[in-house]
Amino acid sequence: MLNAKIEKALNQQILLEAESSQIYLAMASWAEVEGYAGIAAFLFHHSDEERMHMLKLLRFVNEQGGHGVVPALPAPSAKYKGVKELFQQVLEHEILVSNEINKLVDICLKEKDYTTHNFLQWYVSEQIEEEALARNVMDKLKLIGGDKSGMYFFDRDIAGLAAAEGGGADAEGGK
């Protein structure tokens, strides 16, 4: 049975994962409208992935005798200055999520909840991958600079990252 402190913290993480899904969904929609089909496919995939993270947490809370709460969400931004700024926000958001996961792990250790601590190790590993991916994308965007042909190839190639990660979405966002 989850103690109240851990249940509350897990429900806060459920909220953060749900917000992440919504943020990436809004970014994907913006990219699609702006003509960046590859970036849109990449972000649609990441939106789905964040929703899966939320569901995994929610089900864990319920299975451990708590109550996973489906949160109300604020509307994410619908407009972005450009691709580089968008992916800078992705990186900053992934760092925020990593910090929150680490706080959750710390609470579990202080509360001696080793079951939840063990469960959260998957999220720790996932965040290492997510931050590395976001940094890699930012490195590529720095290399491109303002080169429009470079952005064309970036858009084309980033769709492959979603597919390689099991996104299954093609550049037009289909399944």
* Domains annotated on the chain, with CATH: 4-70+78-164 (1.20.1260.10)
Report pLDDT for 174.
40
Report pLDDT for 141.
96
Angle at 15 between CA 2 and CA 64, to 5 degrees: 20
Report pLDDT for 162.
66
Residue 126: exposed, middle, or buried by beta-carbon count in 10 A (0-12, 13-18, 19+)?
middle
Residue-by-residue pLDDT tens, the chain, 175 positions: 899 999 999 999 999 999 999 999 999 999 999 999 999 999 999 999 999 999 999 999 999 999 999 999 999 999 999 999 999 999 999 999 999 999 999 999 999 999 999 999 999 999 999 999 999 999 999 999 989 899 999 999 998 876 666 544 443 434 3
DSSP secondary structure letters along the chain = ---HHHHHHHHHHHHHHHHHHHHHHHHHHHHHHTT-HHHHHHHHHHHHHHHHHHHHHHHHHHHTTS-PPPPP-PPPP---S-HHHHHHHHHHHHHHHHHHHHHHHHHHHHTT-HHHHHHHHHHHHHHHHHHHHHHHHHHHHHHHTT-HHHHHHHHHHHHHHHHHTT----TTS--
Report pLDDT for 161.
78
Report pLDDT for 171.
38
